[in-house]
Amino acid sequence: MRKLITFLAFCVALGFVSSANAGDNVGPHWDSNRVLELRSSAKNNVIVLEYRADTTAKGVLMKNRTGIVRIGDDFDHISSGSSNTITDYKLCRAFTWTDTESTFENLSCYAEPAFRAIELQNRLALRKMIGESGATEIQYLGTDHSFWLEQEFATQNTKSDPLTLSETPIELKWQLGGKTVTTISKDGFSFDTKDANLIARYLARHLSIHPQVRNAIVNRGIFPLKIEILRRMRDGERIETISYLLRERVAVEYPLPRNLTSNVVTRSTGTTIEAAGLKETLSAISGTTKYPKPTFAELMNKLEAAAKTGESLQTTLTFAKLTQFYGGVLYSDQQKMEQLRAIMPGVIVQLQTGDGARLMAASNLAGSAGAGAEREAAAKYLAGAKDMDQLDFGTFRLVTFANLARISKDSAQWNKSVFASTSSVTDSYWIHIAAQPWASNAFKDLGDAKYEQFDTFEAWNIWDLGKAVDPDWQKGSMKSVERLENNIRTKMQDYF
């Protein structure tokens, strides 16, 4: 019984939990033609606005831009010059392209609000540090009031109303400490309750105004034709004036052009380690890979043979491969679980022997945060075990190293030679993905690393690729990404 618990604990540590089947997801690798297959060919009713945004400092015009806004039931489209952005709320994607290029960005709709929430927290923490130090020279960071940050990122950590509102027959003014920070005209076009969410989404994603102002516009049901916003910059205060003209309410075709290639696909054609990982991932997704995913039966046969011949390291690597590729299946298929239980006594002996035991111990350390000399020793072992890469699933040592380095609280104090003798944390994940792209676990870990670096856009690119490559992703550690998305949608409803 104790041996069975050891096996189950290892699976749980790798994040294999039972859940419902995954739904279809639009991948970041999709071209525009494939996206358009999911959009109806019928025309969409949209509100069309022209806008002009002028930024002045001390009365001098610093810059201006003009463009067109199209606000539809399930998307909005912003065009300015040759630049275009669609936020598609039906597909939960954001598409960005220019009229002169054949590629486009195909991003998750969760990346932008996640970035704003994270960056707001970071800047509030920095503001606190600056305030405690007594420094005053970085006011543009919001050292005197969190309003400036909440305006910049159009969101709040906790709901508050820091502004006072005054009203005249022609405009509404919001003040902070007696200084006017936002003014909106009463002239505008009315919108009903049905359109309120459409307007809120446009304002939240495309206009850096304080949530208190945004809520007032939505609740009043009048879209202002002029908005004046005081902004704090590094070199002083500036005023942004945005003027709108309601052109029409009209039916239009979905504005994404055909024959655009995702920049994720373009990146896969390079010569970097990341490009190699992307290329093999896309091959696995499309079914064109030269190295197809081994079946459960094939891995079971290999695991049993390795255990019988006493190959400790290969037994451990094959066990890891089996549980990474088929962990979710094992929990949902009692017959397969019984097959594994039948050979586990011999497998566990090898997991507790020689280099197999060292790899298992390192993997267990990499599964949770902590500190201590044993972590540096495990990292040093993994970094130096380059011969392991020649074994089937041997690049798992690189993922283990990357996770250990990323999650250990004292890794910054490790001897620099530990890092000098192996690939970077990011490259370590990509090397393993290039060799073994079939499970979403490594994509989850790499996405987490990008998220921790505040690169939410790349984090979701990687997570979404992991979902595309692994039909069982909801049964594994990637399930936590779905929970994160649900949490963002709940807390930042205006963005959806």
End position of a domain, from candidates 245, 262, 281: 245
Does residue 122 sit in the same domain as residue 80? no
DSSP characters over 295-320:
PHHHHHHHHHHHHHTT-HHHHHHHHH
Does residue 138 sit in the same domain as residue 238? yes
In a domain? residue 252: no
Q: Convert the pLDDT of each residue in 105-152 to its tens digit.
A: 999 999 999 999 999 999 988 878 877 776 655 555 555 789 999 999
Percent of the chain with pLDDT over 90: 85
Instruction: Judge contact between 173 and 137, C-beta under 8 A.
Output: no
Does residue 458 sit in the same domain as residue 359? yes
Does residue 196 sit in the same domain as residue 68? no
Task: Give the per-residue pLDDT at 331.
Answer: 83
Task: Give the per-residue pLDDT at 316.
Answer: 98
In a domain? residue 250: no
Instruction: Judge contact between 488 and 117, C-beta under 8 A.
Output: yes
Task: Give the per-residue pLDDT at 14.
Answer: 34
Mean pLDDT computed over 285-302: 95
Does residue 97 sit in the same domain as residue 225? no
- In degrees rounded to 5, what are phi and psi of residue 300? -60, -45
d(CA 414, CA 108): 36
In a domain? residue 263: no
Does residue 229 sit in the same domain as residue 89? no
In a domain? residue 318: yes
Task: Give the per-residue pLDDT at 44.
Answer: 93
Mean pLDDT computed over 37-51: 94
Q: Convert the pLDDT of each residue in 445-461 to its tens digit.
A: 999 999 999 999 999 99
Task: Give the per-residue pLDDT at 18.
Answer: 31
Does residue 87 sit in the same domain as residue 116? no
Task: Give the per-residue pLDDT at 140.
Answer: 52
Does residue 241 sit in the same domain as residue 278? no
The residue range of the domain holding 337 is 2-26+271-495
Bridge partners, residue 79, by sequence:
68, 84
Instruction: Write out the two tokens for 288.
Output: 């064109």
Residue 477 has pLDDT above 80, yes or no: yes
Residue 299 has pLDDT above 50, yes or no: yes
Does residue 417 sit in the same domain as residue 444? yes
Does residue 292 sit in the same domain as residue 368? yes
Number of domains in the chain: 3
Per-residue confidence at 29, pLDDT binned at 50, 70, 90? very high
Residue 19 has pLDDT above 80, yes or no: no
Does residue 121 sit in the same domain as residue 178? yes
Burial class (CB within 10 angstroms; exposed 0-12, middle 13-18, buried 19+) of 306? buried
